Structure 1
Amino acid sequence: MSKATGQGGLDLAGDKARALALTPVSRETLQRLAIYVELLLRWQQTTNLISPSTIPHIWTRHIADSLQLMDLVPDAKTWIDLGSGGGFPAIPVACVLADTPGAMVHLVESNGKKAAFLREAVRATGVPAQVHAERIEKFVAGAVNSVDVVSARALAPLKTLCDQAFPLIERGATGLFLKGLDVDTELTEASKYWKLDARKVPSKTSPDGCVVIVRNLKTQPAT
């Protein structure tokens, strides 16, 4: 298999070039990302990690979509990624942070098969990451005190994410949540329960997407 070609003869070179134009990375980071993509495509044949329709655009749809978070929190070293699934955004983030002293990315994934893939991805890429095969609520309750970022992608409505991430954001973490077309509806619903300092940043990879940055999360007073 050539470097430009994925499983089943799939040509990913053009998509990879577009992704790297959107979110440039170092040569060392690119090597780690390539190992991860190759591994994901191999596991995808037996385990549903990403939507099959997105495979031809794996570099833009998944890798670059994840990497765009890095510019929003350039000094962040400690991440907690909720419901990591196939590893987005956590593994690409960890690939970038691999050369940063003291960096650590925590991946929380309760599905056993997906957690097994994530462990193998961490091992194969050598990134600074730990996989926690447990429910989000349980992990967050006992999570490390010093957290810079809590992230989630395609996991749950914003209100639910606020419920889950509140203990971390309350202690100073920044919430980075990748969202799509329904983001305004989700913000309206979340604001019924939470006072949140939220800002929308347009996605680099999708005209309909955005990143919701959440800080200073507080519960709304009971009426």
Structure 2
Amino acid sequence: MNIDKKVIYGEFINRPNRFQAYVKVDDETIMVHVPNTGRCKEILIPGCTVMLREENGIKRKTKYDLIAAFKDEKIINIDSQIPNKVVEEALINGNIPRLRKFKTIEREKTYGNSRFDFKLTDDNGDVYYLEVKGVTYEENGIAKFPDAPTQRGRKHLLELVDAKNKGLGAGVLFLIQMDNMKEFMPYDDMDVDFGEALRIAYENEVDIFAYECTVDARSITLIKAITVIL
């Protein structure tokens, strides 16, 4: 997925709340919007280089969104709006082999008490619900989710189990917003209930996908599956 807006670099200063951060650009300190409610504490470290995307909405209070940061030499995209767009592009292009047969792709569809990111339908009318989770946390080359407790995420997994048990297709795709990962696993130390729900989903034959991405200043693209460790 290409980023068609202006992108500049800055030096991260601090993040006083979930939605705002201060960044130094050309010796000027500016306030920017953070499009990610996760903690990102291991990424947004004072002094690190960050990438800002220009946004010119009339009602905006800030001119830029903080969309990525460098962790050592690695670029990690933290824009929570990006994963669904990247996955939709991959679905359209047939880059997720298990899901290639589904030609009808619908966004934000309700099942039970949840709204899943995608409802997929094949030529035979078979339905598949897919939930996408963006992953920004990594430790020694191992990607983990979540980086903050998420009851909503656990609820989604159990709803996918219900869909699967009622004869529908169901899967969760963890989109790792960086590259060169060794494997993916649930971050049990952060949210043991989510990890338990993910294992329950696996035991009930819900598909568990993990894909990493190539990331640069102008694009982010799903590239390959990595091993899931449960």
Q: TM-score, normalised by structure 2?
A: 0.34
- Bigger Cα Rg: 2
TM-score for both structures, normalised by structure 1: 0.35
Structure with the bigger percentage of strand: 2
Higher helix share: 1
